[in-house]
Structure 1
Amino acid sequence: MTGSMDGHAEDRGRVYQASGDQHISEHHHYGGEAAPTNGPDSVRRPAVGRPPIILRDRTEVLERLRESMRAGRGGEVYVLYGMGGCGKTAVAYTFFQQATDGCGRVGLWVSATDRASLRAGMLAVAADRGAGDGELLAARNGLRPAADLVWQYLDRSAEPWLLVLDNADRPEILRDGNWLRTSPRGTVVVTTRRSAARWWPGAELQHIGVLPREDAARVLRDLAPHSGTQEDAAEIAERLGRLPLALTLAGGFLSQQVLDPWTLETYGRHLDEGERVELIDRGADALSEEDPRHLVGLTWQLTLDAFEAQGLPEATALLRLMARFGPEPLPLSLLNRPEISGVLPRARCETALRALLDQSLTELVDVGVRSAQSHAVLLDSVAAATPAQQIPVLNATAVLLLDAAVPDIPDAGPYDPLLRLLVPHGLALLRRIGDPSTSADALAVVTRLSIALHRTGDYLSAWETARAAADLGERQLGAEHRLVLAARSRAGRTLFRLGRYTGAEPLLKRVRATQERLFGADDPDTMDSGYGLQLVLGNLGRRDEAIRLARTTIADRRRALGPAHPLTLRSRSSMLVLLSASEIVAEDDGTLLSLPSECLRHLGADHTVTLGAHHNHAWALYLLGRFDEADQEIRLVTEAYRRRFGPEYPIALAAQQLLSRTQAARGHLDAAIELMTDVVARRVQGLGSDHPFTVAGRQLLSDFSSGRWRPPET
């Protein structure tokens, strides 16, 4: 086997992916000595802020659920469905507590509101049940099926469990990844608004409706016991449709009146008054008579009126701002920024938030990041009733807050739970904004968020974010808007990282051709898409096309950005793993082999591009037969990767595999076998026995052990 074919057939794809894109371009490394768990702090604690004081009228439902906890039972899926605000999560929470406190079950609670939250939560479940860091890292990076890993460990669990998938209002998310399964070791409970049986084959469906009159009245009296009689409470409960969310908001309001407490009779009179209460019907969204937002709107508007009367208009402003985002946990750090001053003074944000908490309009939850969370029905009704003249400044401020929370220049780093939490809020903003200019600003931020996710290795979330952002942006801006094309390009780059080369190639080709037609060949966006396409072509085995495109990108970047720009140096580095030994010596007037020194001079020793250039340079030295030099360089690179990203990280294993080759080439076959044995063991754990990377590593180890291996010919 020639040196060129040796690199292409066995290592080039792997090293090229790692060095050409993974640690130079995509920067998706983790910091520290070990891979992080990439999920909420705990799946053993329900992510709800305020559990119900007393759960009314759910005895029959809870008894049916408790039946599944009896000895020998397992394999059931229960779906609790009903309109928003009817208390599905409260039922699941109460059952969760009963199962863990009295039935000896391990309780596992996962938010299923969006793909990223579901995946992170389920991988945290796998970690709780014993999955190792390497396996979790591979699943997170899209290198092995994440759902299979999770259910493998759930099936192996030594303890029986209860798994709650909360707020699964988009059941297609569960279906797409085959996340919802059964196991004899446990019981699954799903809460959702979607009741169609086709979404829940084999599950037992349980409707959770509004409360009976007497129980609804008791909810009001549980929260505000001194505000009136049982009959008074029953009358107000009927007015509020006996919807638990509306009752909770009303009771929270009544319980907080101190200087001039309202009675239930007074509350009912205010429900009859007022034009302001009916603002809910003037919003942007048309509401049907059955829509629960009508009922919720009756309650929160009275609370906002009270805020105004008490000299707390900032609470109203903050709630309307929060309604521009989604119902998922909203990191508190997002609100604690000077950019919020467009809507309310930053110094008053704490007081405003406390007022919302006191009135049960939001609640604090801890999902690894301290956050505030409001019910989706409440946010929808607030958004619909927001005066039209306030919407532009609310949208602009929301975009500024999100922009400040996303890194200006995303780079390699450890997993940051804040990034994943920002995704649904960025997409919610894109859905709510109707102004093209503000939509463009929001799309730019969400695309940058996708890049940041990509560069921490959360490829699936990055792809889903970029794809969804492009689709939403296209509705407002058109298919050929610069920012829409940039989001599509980012989606293509992430498809490449997920190994979906056949999907990435046509997408990147189409985007690059459009960018070149609209903006020119030397436009930065065009060059970025060209670089991404070159990576795909190289991994598809179309070496000549990849080399031609790489040379074009290098020339364009030199001309547009200069020879010392990190993107120019990164593009040149990719040539070190594309070319054969003879081509490397002749390329770029013979200067390609001095690239690490250039990177060191212009960027510094710790820059990601510099480290990647050393990795690729070691491969080139190996092809050239300069084994001692290659061994010394790749040893330093391997140590740096292990120190920064952990021993299981893919590029750390790729570097270790190259180190095994240089050791073998220098005659240290025992050391090479030891290194490759470790690589294969870690890949088996992280990727599985049948993954191509594992198969290639096992073949190299076999060649070492049998004596078939030969160094590259020079």
Structure 2
Amino acid sequence: MAIPMPGRDRVPDGPVRDFVTAMHEIYDAAGQPASRLIAKTTLALPSKDYQAVSHETVSGTLRGGAVPAWEKVRSILKVLTDGLPDDVELPDTELRMRALWTAARHRVQDPPVSASRRPPVTIALSSARLPAEAVPMAGFRPRPAPGFVGRATLIAAVHTALTSPDDVRLVLFGGVGAGKTQTILHYLDRHHGADRPLWWVPCTTADTARASLIELAAALGVDRHHRVDRTVRLVLEALQARRFPYLMIFDGLDDPDLLRLVPNGGHVVITTRDPAFGDDGSSVGMEVPDLEPADAELLLRTHDPDLPAWLIAEVIAAYGPSPLAMRQLVSWSRVAGRQVGVIGDADPAECLTTVPADGYGSSASLALLLALDRLDAASGQALRLLEALSCFAPIRISTKLLGRGANATASPGSVLAETPRGEVALNLAILELRRRGLARLTGDGVEVLPLVRMVVRGTLAGEEAARAYRRAHAMLAAVNPGRPDDQRSATDMYEGIAAHVDATGLVWSEDLKARETVCDQVRFRYLAGDYNVACDLGEQAYKAWRPGNDPSTDDHLLLRMSHEWANALRATGQYERAGELTRGAMSQLGVDPAYGEDHPYTLAMAGSRAADLRIAGDYRRALEVDEETYELCKARFGEDHPRTVMSLHNRGISLRLNGEFRQAEQTDREALARHREEFGDANWRTLLSMNALAEDLNGQGRHQDVLTELEPMLARVTSQEHTRMDRGLLLAQRALALAQRGIGRWTEALGLLESSYADCVRLFGEGHEYPLALRMSRANTLHLLNRTDEAVEELSQGITDYRRLFGHGNPLTVVAEINLANALRARGDHSLAIRIDGHGSETLIDRVGRDHPFSVAALVNLASDYALGEHPNRLVASRKAVEFALRAYTVLDHPHVIAAEANLAADLAAANLPLAAEKRLEVLRRLEARYGPEHPAARTVARGERVDCVLEPPLV
């Protein structure tokens, strides 16, 4: 039936009638469609642009009984104008109707008072306008909890929004216990006068919300219909007509279906756990976050002003700074007669269960259990996900990590299959948790609320708890990228897993994939330079998986963990423990028929064994092991396999430590070429090979070759901020500095050494082998620059650290002592210098051989001690030093050969022997030909002075 234009007795002349008349013009032109048809058609309009309209609203608008919100009018106009015949045009329909609607809206909001007309009924008018007995009640309204703190900025924002003359739908959203209801209650106490219209609608259930609106019908004078929904519609129509100002609070509205009970228009506040309610374009969303730490502390101190700061910090860290958590703790402590945060030997979650929290009517545990029950009914998968995430660390969990896990293959019946599969299912589950206030989205991660996490973990017991942890283990294992040596692009994934290894107890998992994930974590931490973390995790896993504790009965992971843990131990200077671990693993591999000499684990352990031998100073035996391991790797994997090339690199280290610099150079050039081809210049392997080649060239005295070849190569990969994975680059900078020093640029070399040392200390700490070697190089450079006292101080501290790391008789420690003797000799402490050099030369000859560069340098310096002390055998010692230098080096212009022969020339001159001048000139010609006449060493020789041999401790 068509709706007629209302008469003037119903809608008198004025803005409202003008608006209704214009609506009828369009309605009539569209053929007077039924109100139900118009309403049904609005449902099909794009939801992001238009709102659905009920047929009662359509009818009320055309009859002049209501002027609804513009969004509703716009939807009606869209349906009517779309139904106009092609030959009918109504120019600027929306613009013209908006102006008419605005005027009509203002009239119904502030109608003129006439003596012949009674003012329209309001929700709650002041007693000046109605007799006191006629003033309707404001309906149910909770009492605010005592001790409200903070929220000043939020309440001010609410006040600003609700003082707007326009319609406002304000959505206050936040997690369970965030204090949404208390915030709006305290807003009302501060800014909403008792005589202003207000109606509070509790939305715990649909029935409580409808019951409140039925009570509102009586206050409005709306006739009750025998059907509840009909009465509710009439109430909403009366409100939407907006013939009076009002404020309505819909408290705890979490069910989207209840949004149909919220009027369009007026000032409306919705408190909800669902953030989506504030994102629909017609609402203003404001989050009610957890309390600021200072406010949480203030709330706790209202109960106990003398609480220590450390205890407050622990309580907030454990329970989270939500008002519900803080009030629950205060309530429990008051009843229990205990200090906040101190519950003896009981479970920390106990205080969440037994006592209602002030202002909430129930305990925190009960409130959350009800929410979990509703979650289980709505989405069991979301609940399973929440249980697993509650086993994770109490931090933001990367959605990228969770998404990769959701896309991983899960066998039917596995614990992983119990979690959402596929990103769509995962996103729906996370949104369900967010909608129910159990988790929050922060950037690219999801965070389970601390209180929720504690309650969920408290409810899990026995097999349920074990299964939740197995789900967490499976989720972490599913996103593990594998062995991390060449997975630099997956760093964020490894770090995402690392954050939750401890919390989930991943090392105790019985699943092999989970244990492989732990192995990869130890390896990742080692490569990233987090050596202490790698050590701790390696030790924990090794002890958990040892025979008798390993439910998988598979020892291969234990062997791999032995290798990874030993690497980390060496990196932290725990050489003895690393050696014991490697020897034990080698013994097991030797007697177990499942492993042969070319098994990957055997070869890996052999590499570790060679490293232990190098650290112990047994360079010859280390080279034998590395030679054998390299040949086995070639036979097993092929020459180009990364393991074979790294074995080749290790062989180069042992050759260099044995003084075989030319052979080491050939080896390292081959390794560098293969690493560059396979991994590029910036890979950690390639950087280590670059440094190795630089050390080989420096060891031969070919300092200019280092600068010519390696400096441009390293410049291409220099990063502004170094990490521990760039250790090869940091070490190569030391090699560059030594090359600069070798060609006479001593001051420039010192600057580079100092900056590199600072970088190394920042990354590894002062006691680590890397910064220790840089410190020794810097001290040697200070000695050459005649900054003797500084050099002595630096060298003395360095020797203490070398003794701590390697022991007293280790070749590296002896090398550091010989460098100290150089500085002491320069300071005039000849007797102490000769004792150091005498003992050091004997030790080195015994440990590394007479022809080793270490031994040669010690003998050259010892000859200087003899000469300065006018020892009767000084000339014999000097000739012996030359003999050993010429036997150790095949080139006459090596710095140690030049030093030995230059010092012999000085000793010959001191003995007034005729060959002295000729010998000095011969040495000077070779020196100038190699480095130029301005080199500091050339000037020293030209003056007939002695030259020291400084030793740079190699990196083992």
What is the TM-score when the length of structure 2 is the normalising length? Answer: 0.43
- Greater shift in the superposed pair: 444-453 or 544-553: 544-553
- 1:78 alignment partner AA: W
Could you say which residue in structure 1 is the equivalent of 2:781? Answer: 701
More relative contact order, 1 or 2 (CA 8 Å, 6+ apart)? 1
Could you say which residue in structure 1 is the equivalent of 2:649? Answer: 573
Cα distance change on mapping 1:713 and 1:405 into 2, 3 Å: same
Task: Tell me if the contact between 1:621 and 1:627 (Cα under 8 Å) persists in the aligned partners.
Answer: yes
Q: Does 2:520 align with 1:448?
A: yes
Could you say which residue in structure 2 is the equivalent of 1:352? Answer: 429
Q: Does 2:896 align with 1:713?
A: yes
Q: Does 2:372 align with 1:249?
A: no
CA distance in 2, matches of 1:667, 1:57: 64
Equivalent residue runs for 1:259-298 within 5 Å: none
Task: Tell me if the contact between 1:663 and 1:672 (Cα under 8 Å) persists in the aligned partners.
Answer: yes
- 2:368 alignment partner AA: L
CA distance in 2, matches of 1:659, 1:191: 60
Cα distance change on mapping 1:81 and 1:587 into 2, 3 Å: closer
Q: CA deviation at 1:628?
A: 2.0
Could you say which residue in structure 2 is the equivalent of 1:629? Answer: 705
CA distance in 2, matches of 1:644, 1:215: 56
Q: CA deviation at 1:561?
A: 0.9
Cα distance change on mapping 1:551 and 1:66 into 2, 3 Å: farther
Task: Choose which of 310, 317, 321 in structure 2 pairs with 1:78.
Answer: 310
Task: Tell me if the contact between 2:382 and 2:429 (Cα under 8 Å) persists in the aligned partners.
Answer: yes
CA distance in 2, matches of 1:443, 1:306: 35
Equivalent residue runs for 1:332-351 within 5 Å: 332-337=399-404, 338-339=407-408, 342-343=417-418, 344-346=420-422, 347-351=424-428
CA distance in 1, matches of 2:350, 2:296: 10
Could you say which residue in structure 2 is the equivalent of 1:155? Answer: none
Task: Tell me if the contact between 2:299 and 2:326 (Cα under 8 Å) persists in the aligned partners.
Answer: no
SS in 1 for 2:310: strand
Task: Choose which of 509, 524, 530 in structure 1 pairs with 2:600.
Answer: 524
- Greater shift in the superposed pair: 352-361 or 557-566: 352-361
Task: Tell me if the contact between 1:412 and 1:456 (Cα under 8 Å) persists in the aligned partners.
Answer: no
CA distance in 2, matches of 1:247, 1:655: 62
Q: CA deviation at 1:249?
A: 0.9
Q: CA deviation at 1:610?
A: 3.2
Q: CA deviation at 1:498?
A: 1.8
Q: CA deviation at 1:534?
A: 2.4
Could you say which residue in structure 2 is the equivalent of 1:658? Answer: 735
Q: Does 2:691 align with 1:612?
A: no
Q: CA deviation at 1:616?
A: 0.5
Could you say which residue in structure 2 is the equivalent of 1:260? Answer: none
Task: Tell me if the contact between 1:463 and 1:495 (Cα under 8 Å) persists in the aligned partners.
Answer: yes
Q: CA deviation at 1:630?
A: 2.2
Task: Choose which of 306, 316, 321 in structure 1 pairs with 2:377.
Answer: 306
SS in 1 for 2:582: helix
Cα deviation, 1:161-204, whole Å, max 9, x if unaligned, reads xxxxxxxxxxxxxxxxxxxxxxxxxxxxx9988968xxxxxxxx
Task: Tell me if the contact between 1:320 and 1:382 (Cα under 8 Å) persists in the aligned partners.
Answer: no
Could you say which residue in structure 2 is the equivalent of 1:330? Answer: 397
Q: CA deviation at 1:91?
A: 7.9
Q: Does 2:653 align with 1:534?
A: no
Could you say which residue in structure 1 is the equivalent of 2:139? Answer: none
- 2:641 alignment partner AA: H
Task: Tell me if the contact between 1:324 and 1:398 (Cα under 8 Å) persists in the aligned partners.
Answer: no
Could you say which residue in structure 2 is the equivalent of 1:489? Answer: 563
Could you say which residue in structure 2 is the equivalent of 1:6? Answer: none
Task: Tell me if the contact between 2:477 and 2:517 (Cα under 8 Å) persists in the aligned partners.
Answer: yes
Cα distance change on mapping 1:507 and 1:93 into 2, 3 Å: farther
Equivalent residue runs for 1:359-438 within 5 Å: 359-364=436-441, 370-372=446-448, 375-381=452-458, 383-384=460-461, 391=467, 395=470, 398-399=473-474, 402-411=477-486, 413=488, 416=491, 418-423=493-498, 425-426=500-501, 436=510
Q: Does 2:541 align with 1:469?
A: yes
CA distance in 2, matches of 1:448, 1:410: 9
Q: CA deviation at 1:483?
A: 0.9
Cα deviation, 1:555-600, whole Å, max 9, x if unaligned, reads 2211211111111111212233332476343579x66654433444
Q: CA deviation at 1:250?
A: 4.6
Q: CA deviation at 1:621?
A: 1.5
CA distance in 2, matches of 1:652, 1:432: 33
Task: Choose which of 637, 640, 650 in structure 2 pairs with 1:561.
Answer: 637
- Between the aligned residues of both structures, percent identity stands at 16
CA distance in 1, matches of 2:313, 2:320: 7
SS in 2 for 1:625: coil
CA distance in 1, matches of 2:387, 2:602: 39
SS in 2 for 1:493: helix
Cα distance change on mapping 1:529 and 1:353 into 2, 3 Å: same
Q: CA deviation at 1:409?
A: 3.9
Could you say which residue in structure 2 is the equivalent of 1:62? Answer: 301
Equivalent residue runs for 1:182-193 within 5 Å: none
CA distance in 1, matches of 2:520, 2:610: 22
Cα distance change on mapping 1:641 and 1:508 into 2, 3 Å: farther
Task: Choose which of 216, 220, 231 in structure 1 pairs with 2:357.
Answer: 216
Equivalent residue runs for 1:116-131 within 5 Å: none
Q: CA deviation at 1:506?
A: 0.9
Task: Choose which of 562, 583, 595 in structure 2 pairs with 1:509.
Answer: 583
- 1:403 alignment partner AA: A
Task: Tell me if the contact between 2:569 and 2:578 (Cα under 8 Å) persists in the aligned partners.
Answer: yes
Cα distance change on mapping 1:493 and 1:320 into 2, 3 Å: same
Task: Tell me if the contact between 1:86 and 1:208 (Cα under 8 Å) persists in the aligned partners.
Answer: no
SS in 2 for 1:579: helix
Task: Tell me if the contact between 1:249 and 1:360 (Cα under 8 Å) persists in the aligned partners.
Answer: no
Q: CA deviation at 1:85?
A: 11
Cα distance change on mapping 1:643 and 1:432 into 2, 3 Å: closer
Equivalent residue runs for 1:108-119 within 5 Å: none
Cα deviation, 1:521-556, whole Å, max 9, x if unaligned, reads 211122222223322332333323322322232122
Could you say which residue in structure 2 is the equivalent of 1:668? Answer: 745
Cα distance change on mapping 1:504 and 1:49 into 2, 3 Å: farther
Task: Tell me if the contact between 1:469 and 1:487 (Cα under 8 Å) persists in the aligned partners.
Answer: yes
Cα distance change on mapping 1:624 and 1:384 into 2, 3 Å: same
Supply the RMSD in Å over aligned alpha carbons.
4.7
Cα deviation, 1:381-405, whole Å, max 9, x if unaligned, reads 56537669x959x947852653324
Which structure has the larger Rg over C-alpha atoms? 2
Task: Tell me if the contact between 1:538 and 1:578 (Cα under 8 Å) persists in the aligned partners.
Answer: yes
Q: CA deviation at 1:421?
A: 4.0
- 2:385 alignment partner AA: L
CA distance in 2, matches of 1:208, 1:407: 37
**Which structure 1 residue ranges, 5 or more long, are not aligned?**
1-47, 69-75, 96-189, 197-206, 220-232, 254-299
Q: CA deviation at 1:442?
A: 1.0
Task: Tell me if the contact between 2:672 and 2:689 (Cα under 8 Å) persists in the aligned partners.
Answer: yes
**Which structure 2 residue ranges, 5 or more long, are not aligned?**
1-173, 183-290, 328-338, 411-416, 788-821, 824-856, 858-893, 898-956
CA distance in 1, matches of 2:565, 2:459: 33
Cα deviation, 1:212-237, whole Å, max 9, x if unaligned, reads 98852622xxxxxxxxxxxxx4xxx3
CA distance in 1, matches of 2:435, 2:731: 54
Cα deviation, 1:110-150, whole Å, max 9, x if unaligned, reads xxxxxxxxxxxxxxxxxxxxxxxxxxxxxxxxxxxxxxxxx
Q: CA deviation at 1:515?
A: 3.1
- Equivalenced residue count is 476
- 1:545 alignment partner AA: R
Equivalent residue runs for 1:135-154 within 5 Å: none
Cα distance change on mapping 1:83 and 1:406 into 2, 3 Å: same
Cα distance change on mapping 1:60 and 1:700 into 2, 3 Å: same
Cα distance change on mapping 1:687 and 1:453 into 2, 3 Å: closer
CA distance in 1, matches of 2:754, 2:464: 66
